[in-house]
Amino acid sequence: MNKGKLKAKFSIKAKLIGIIIPMMAIVVSLLIIISYNKSKSIITNSANDLLETSGKKQVDQIESWFNENLASLQAIKTTLENGNLSNESVQNLLDKYYGYNNNYPEGFYIADQSGNMLKAKESKKSDKDILNSIWYKEGLTRINMGFGSPYKNEQGKNIVSASGIINDNSGKIKVLSADFSLDKVTVIVNSMIEMDNAEALLVNIKDNTILAHRDNSLISTKIDSNTSDKFLRDVAIRLQNRDYSSTELDNNMVVFKEVPGTDMVLISYIPTKSIFGELSQLRTFMIAIAIISIIVLIALIERVVQIVIKPIKKLTETIVAMTNGDFTVDVEVKGNDEISIMLGSVKEFIDVMRNMINNINIVSSKIWNQAEGSTRISKELYDSSKVQSESMQNLNITVDQLSSSVNEIAESTTTLANVVSNTREDSINVDKKMRETIDISEKGREDMEKVNAAMENIRKSITSLQEAINNVGNSSIEIINIISVIGSIAEQTNLLSLNASIEAARAGEAGKGFAVVASEIGKLAQTSSESVKSISAHVSAINKLVSNTVKQSEESAGYINESSYLISGTVDTFDSIFDRINDTNNLIQNMIEKVGHLDDVATTVAAISEEQAASSEEILATSQVMVEQSNNITQNSELVANDAEELSNTSDELSKQIQMFKI
């Protein structure tokens, strides 16, 4: 288990604030930009509409002025054509209209095809070349009175003449004309603009001559694409292209309006800085409001994030503590939202893990105690089998000596049959040997009884060992059941983590904090699963060791039972040998007493000695088998002791693993 303390580089709070605040700043900035552009568009459209309206009113005023004067002249023309006036009456009419109207203070005048001109007596109107004058030529082209092109008269004043042909039935071609000063038009152009800082100029589009302008020095000047003034140059280009749509020229909003019935165009314009002056103040105010709003939003967002993140932060600390094996932590659950449900699940998980770890600790202690008991019993079994092995070695030596003695008896008996003369002396030796044989046989029988008793102790120890091993097997089964419960809990926790990750993904950016918590829970579930696998491996190893121990104990029990059977047979054989040796001794005694019957007795003794030799060889073979089986028992006992010790070490390791958890 990783005991290092997990620590995130950036907290969820910092991430949320780092995402939300820039987004809010961007949104507020976009709203400010959109509002500013929309306001600019509205102001631009309003200014353009107002400039259009103002220009239209000016054009209407100019048109009205022209129409009013044309109507007056048209009435004079009608009078002259239909009144059959004499020359004197015409002159009186001319004099009457002199100074009558301020718009044409010189009155009207009449010129004929001969170059003669009639005018008021007080009129200063003069024209050296009447037939080539602008007003006369233009008048020849009109039946009704109409205004012509503006021009400068002989006095250098800008005027425009209204002229037209009159038919007075005199038979002469005559033209009626009157000169109008453009001062009135200039007044209309310069003074009737409804917008502050707005200006206007009137241009004759035939030759692009400026007829009216606030700057008197520009009046009567012509503008074209070579004009030095950029604004006037741009206006001239638009007029040449007959493009009268509203536009912006040289930082001025410009509106073009044609004067009906004339070749004049009114150009109204206003600097854009005058239009957007208040808009700049509005922009500054909106930026200030945006900055204040962002600061307030930052403070509110920080508080909201702090409130939302606080339980997640506590949950993260709890999960990190559990990851480090500390289950002494507690979770406080408040509310009914998703975080509260998650906190409740973690609290239930902590309770389950505490109970589980406590149960595993108890079982581990039982296994360790049983392993210690198995180790102790195994050592006793090993010591007993070692004693048995030594006893069997001694028995083997005794049987070997017995076999040697029996062979010697057989040889002596054979020699007795051949050498009768030395019978008594040999009989004494035989008697001595027989006594030694009796002592050895007695010792062998006692050793065999000890072996039989040791085998009985070994059998009882093996039985106790089997019971202890069976208890260990049962405890292993309980551990497996507990591990299954742990695995189920880990799977459920993993499912909980997966569900939490899905819900966090649905929540988008706001749910990344939940995704971190869900990831930590997944890691915890993974850690629990790995611990379950580790414990399962240890328990499997214990089960395997228990199975091997049971198998070896069963083999040892079989060997011991077989050894007990052989030892029991050996005891009987020793009793038979002992009896036969006693018989032999009696016979030898009789042989000594009955030397006369030596031949018959020697033959009998030889036969008996051969039987004893065969029996001793069988005893020796049995003793060797018993030694081998005793060695096997010793080896198996050593294996059992080693397995028991390994079981004890495994139990101790399991206890250490469990002690890593704090409950």
Asked if pLDDT for residue 4 goes beyond 50, the answer is: no
Nearest-5° angle of CA 473, CA 478, CA 481?
Answer: 125
3 band by pLDDT with thresholds 50, 70 and 90: very low
Residues of the chain with CATH 3.30.450.20: 17-275
CATH of domain 17-275: 3.30.450.20
Q: Tell me the pLDDT band of 422, cut-offs 50, 70 and 90.
A: low
What tokens does 626 get? 């018993």
Report percent pLDDT > 90 for the chain.
5
Q: Please give the pLDDT value at position 197.
A: 81
For the purposes of burial, counting CB atoms within 10 Å of the CB of 375, is it exposed (0-12), middle (13-18) or buried (19 or more)?
A: buried
pLDDT value at residue 6:
47
Q: How confident is the model at residue 257 (pLDDT cuts 50, 70, 90)?
A: very high
Per-residue pLDDT tens digits for 23-77: 888 888 888 888 888 888 888 888 888 888 888 888 888 888 888 888 888 898 8
Of 345, 337, 350, which Cα lies nearest the Cα of 511? 337
Closest to 124 in 3D by CA, of 163, 182, 179, 66: 179
Report the range out of 234-243, 437-446, 512-521, 532-541 with the highest average pLDDT: 234-243
State the average pLDDT over residues 551-561. Answer: 71
Q: What are the DSSP calls for 566-614, one per residue?
A: HHHHHHHHHHHHHHHHHHHHHHHHHHHHTGGGHHHHHHHHHHHHHHHHH
Band of pLDDT at residue 492, cut at 50, 70 and 90: confident
CATH 1.10.287 fits 339-659, yes or no: yes
Q: Judge whether residue 423 has pLDDT over 70.
A: no
pLDDT at 44: 82
Residue of higher predicted confidence among 291 and 196: 291
In angstroms, the CA 655 to CA 657 distance is 5
Pick from 430, 413, 410, 423: nearest CA to 594 = 423
pLDDT for 164 equals: 93
Q: Where in the chain is the domain with CATH 1.10.287?
A: 339-659
What confidence score (pLDDT) does residue 332 get?
74
- Could you read off the pLDDT of 382-407 as tens digits, one per residue? 777 777 667 767 777 776 776 676 67
Query: Which of 274, 224, 232, 272 has its CA nearest to residue 248?
Result: 272
What is the reported pLDDT for 235?
92
Q: What is the pLDDT of residues 12-25, one digit of tens each?
A: 777 777 888 888 88
Angle between helices 277-323 and 338-418 (to 10 degrees): 30
**Residues of the chain with pLDDT > 70: what percent?**
80
Residue pointed to by tokens 């990783």: 2
Kindly report the average pLDDT of the chain as a whole number.
Answer: 78
Tokens of 154: 């002989």
